Amino acid sequence: MGRPPLNRAIHRGAAFAGALVLATACGVSLIAFAADAEVGRSIGSAWVRVGDGEPTPAQLPPCTLSGTNCQSAAGSAQNSTRAAGVRVAENFQLPSTSVVSQLCWRGVYGNTTCEPADMDDFQVVYYALRGQVAGNIVGGPFRQSDGTLIVQRGLTGAIVAGRQEYQYTATHAGVSFPALSCHWVEITNAGTATCSWFWRHGTGADQRSLYDTGLVYTNSDLQSLDLSLCLNQPLAALSQSSCISGDPQGDTCTDAIPLACGDVLLLSTAQATTAQTDPHFSCRTGGPAIGSGTLWFSFIATGGSAVFETCGSAAPDTLVALYSGVCGAWTEVACSDNAPDCTPGAARISVSGLNSGERYLLQVASRDAASRGPVEVRVSCGECDGMLLGDANADGTINNFDIDAFVQALVDPVGYAQVYGESARVCRNDANRDGLVNNFDIDAFIACILVLPEPGMACP
């Protein structure tokens, strides 16, 4: 009949300004736009905007990737307004272990005033799979404004929701992905607080993407749609079952999430449960008690020291404790609440004397229900490697000759650091393993001197 195709886009939020709502049958509303003669349809809380017209002449888009490297664009666009607190991600997997350093996608802007290229600030982040959603960051963040993401764009000639469609190509430092392992890529455009950007829907994958208005992806963020995406490596076929992992979720001690040196995990205590059998945090301000919304992690020591922290977390008050032993028969090694050298309410424990190869358990929780929220768990290692806790004079043996050096570490920290180094002050003298060197270490140090450990072993 010669009628051009209709192009559709989902806008989440209030109805478009200037729209005239016309009642129709079946509980569906048609919205007429007097300004541009476009039509929308309201279904539940989502507005489906339909633009009708011939596409503009095609311009050369920047992306040269095609075929098996791509999920083709569909006829609508997904809102990805970073400035409004929205994040959107698409999953993918590669048929062989490969390095990704380039990607393409399509999108439109909420209005023409947002289209100037100098208003863009795209960011790309890659995540490992956790359960069904995005978990640990494995690549990035790569961001246009700091030069770690180089973005080119061009018009495709298509009209989506009455707006000109753009295609983007971005390059960044290479990120290696193992074969047939599902991952997520998040693309956002910070732009300005008044601008919206929409990521074009795609086809050909597993009809699964993420739309998140918070800080942590959860199962409630899953959307039944694909997003347009091309990578500089061929894409493997996806099914919904291929992107569900049996990895631990960390809600119980027996389901602890493995941690390794250098890991940064963004999770949330808001979705975690609280078990009355969880061990009390001995360091909790106001007295020992269980936390609220407990997350559990396991850590196999690769050296004698490690730092575990929640500094920078959005959750206002967190607790952290490290244990040796097994679930139900744990022994607290260190505990932190309101670390003085951390963001307010966050926790950090710096431990030494760990036994390489031994498995430890880490408990992270909020102080109470009102303090639940996103937590960023970081692990760093190596600062105390080669140092024995209790060997204050650094002669390789723990005995009474360490007493004078231990006293100096307490009363003259500057002088001690000049002789042995700043890191040695904590690594060798933090006898009670609370991350600080002070008079609370005296009893633990004396106990170690009275009952000396085996040669080459740290104070218990």
Higher pLDDT, 149 or 38: 149
Residue 354 has pLDDT above 80, yes or no: yes
Name the token pair of 279: 């061990």
End-to-end CA distance of the chain: 84
Question: Residue 242 has what pLDDT?
Answer: 67
Residue 25 has pLDDT above 60, yes or no: no
Mean pLDDT of 140-154: 91
Mean pLDDT of 198-209: 85
The residues with which 281 forms a beta bridge, in sequence order, are 289
Q: Would you kindly state where each structural domain of the chain is located, as residue ranges?
A: 6-52, 67-243, 253-381, 388-460
Count Cβ atoms within 10 A of the Cβ of residue 241 and give its class: 0-12 exposed, 13-18 middle, 19 or more buried.
Answer: exposed
Q: How confident is the model at residue 215 (pLDDT cuts 50, 70, 90)?
A: low
Q: How confident is the model at residue 338 (pLDDT cuts 50, 70, 90)?
A: confident
Question: Residue 44 has what pLDDT?
Answer: 28
Say which CATH topology domain 67-243 has: Immunoglobulin-like (2.60.40)
Q: For residue range 277-294, what is the model confidence (pLDDT) as tens digits?
A: 899 999 998 999 999 989
Mean pLDDT of 67-91: 72
Residue 155 has pLDDT above 60, yes or no: yes
Q: For residue range 370-428, what is the model confidence (pLDDT) as tens digits?
A: 888 888 888 988 777 678 889 999 998 999 999 999 999 999 988 998 888 877 888 89
Mean pLDDT of 263-271: 78
Question: Residue 390 has what pLDDT?
Answer: 92
Q: How confident is the model at residue 32 (pLDDT cuts 50, 70, 90)?
A: very low
Question: Residue 240 has what pLDDT?
Answer: 62
Residue 224 has pLDDT above 70, yes or no: yes
Q: How confident is the model at residue 307 (pLDDT cuts 50, 70, 90)?
A: confident
Mean pLDDT of 254-261: 86
CATH 2.60.120.380 fits 253-381, yes or no: yes
